[in-house]
A and B are shown apart, each in its own frame.
Chain A
Amino acid sequence: MIKISAVCGMGLGSGLLVKMGIERVLERHGFGRKDFRVEVADISTARATTPDIFVTTAEFAKSLREVDAEVITVKNLFNEGEIEEALLDVFKRIYEEKNK
């Protein structure tokens, strides 16, 4: 199980968009509910979520430095292609490490 945190300001808007994009991308590549879970987190509580991967925008990535997780940034939250490009290789690497 890989934990992914979609981080935004309040956990209402952009974080949800990121979560939807991540789920569509990973499901399209054959990963399912037992492989990953995406949570939406607001920036004030994001650090406490201890995921394997944070996905967020450049603004919030600045305040997620020094976390013990991969931090992936996206510019266009509606663009699944961009999420796929940024996330998939990192996800697969962690997936393989965990399933050795």
Chain B
Amino acid sequence: MIDVKELIRENLIDVDVSVEDWQGAIRAAGKLMVEDEAVEERFVDAMIRVAKEFGPYIVVAPGIALPHARPEDGVIKASIAIVRLATPVEFGNEDNDPVYLVVALAAIDHDQHIDGLRQLALVLGDDDKIEAIKKAATKEELLDIFWSS
């Protein structure tokens, strides 16, 4: 099983990223993954295709989107990339828009990322940690919040 620190690696997190729209938000997270050689470039397109196919359900909590695609869409290494947006964008989700945090998930199968996802869920289900995520001044501060779970 993979710990959250092995999924959310130092190069896979960024703060105050400016994007035009929801596709740009997904691409910003995807770019971190591609640069880290965690996924092939086609994975990024696949995440956008999935979001279009299934609709804005990927906004899984107020302000938080969890884009992902299938393992066979070009995942090299199980990873989670986190991008906090400079300005929130609309994904078209009535309940949970606008999105300020993109948590992109690259899974290599159905099981290996479960523990990491569990740790992630504890952070994102904690109101105090959500406040800290919104306020983190640097990407190092943001990373600490996820790693300390």
Contact = CB atoms under 8 A, between A and B. Distances in A.
Given A20-B117, A59-B57, A75-B95, A11 B62 contact: no
The bracket for how many chain A residues form the interface is 20 to 34
Chain B contact residues (Cβ within 8 angstroms of A): what range?
Answer: 20 to 34
A16 to B, nearest CB: 6
Contacts of B68: 10, 12-13
A16 B117 contact: yes
A78 B57 contact: no
A57 B95 CA distance: 10
B28 interface: no
A12 B105 CA distance: 9
B124 interface: yes
Given A59-B54, A77-B61, A12 B121 contact: no
Given A58-B95, A59-B55, A79-B125, A14 B66 contact: yes
Nearest to A10: B70
Of residues A13, A14, A40, A57, which shows the largest number of chain B Cβ atoms within 10 Å of its Cβ? A13
A78 B114 contact: no
Interface of A: 8-14, 16-17, 20-21, 40, 43, 57-60, 75-80
